[in-house]
Structure 1
Amino acid sequence: MTQVSEEAFEGPYFNIADPSFAMQSEEVRRARDESWIARTNYGYAVLRHAEVGSLLRSKSLSQGSAQWPEHHGVHSGSFYAWWSKNLLVLEGTEHTRIRRLLNPAFSPARARKLKASFQVLADELVNDIADKGSIEFVNDFAAPFATRALCIMLGLPEEHWEFIADRADTIGLALSVNIQEEIDKIDTAVDELYEFVETLIQERRENPVDDVISTLVTQSSDSDSLSPEELRNAIVLMLFGGMDTTRNQLGLAIQTFIHNPEQWELLGQTPKLVNSALEEVLRVNPTTRWVTREAVEDFEFQGVQFKQGTTVHLFTASSGTDVQAFPDPEIDIEEKDRKAHFTFGGGKHQCIGQHIAKADMSVALATLATAITDLQLDGADEWLPDSGNTGPVKLPIRFQKRS
Structure 2
Amino acid sequence: MKDCSAIIVTTIVGLFTSLSVNAAVSIQPYNAQEFNPAAGKTIEIPIKIDQPGKLSVSIYTADGDLARTLSTSKKEKVGIHKIKWDGKDNNKTIVPNEAYIPVVTLTTDKTSHTYDPRQISGGEEIKINPQLNTEGQIVFQLGKPARVLARAGVKSGPLMKTILNWEVRGKGRNVVFWNGYDHDNLMKLTGSDHLALLVTGFELPRHTILTVGNKKLTYNRWRENNQWASSMPDLSKVAFEREGRRLSRHYYLPRSVDIAPRITLEIVDKLPKNKEGLPIVSGPIALKVGMHDEDRWAMQQSLYEVAFFANNEFLSEEEQGYVPLTWRWNPVGLKPGIHLVTVNVSGFNGQVGVKSLQIEIPN
TM-score clears 0.5: no
Higher helix proportion, which one? 1
Higher strand proportion, which one? 2
TM-score (norm: length of structure 2): 0.22
Structure showing greater relative contact order (alpha-carbon pairs closer than 8 Å, 6 or more residues apart): 1
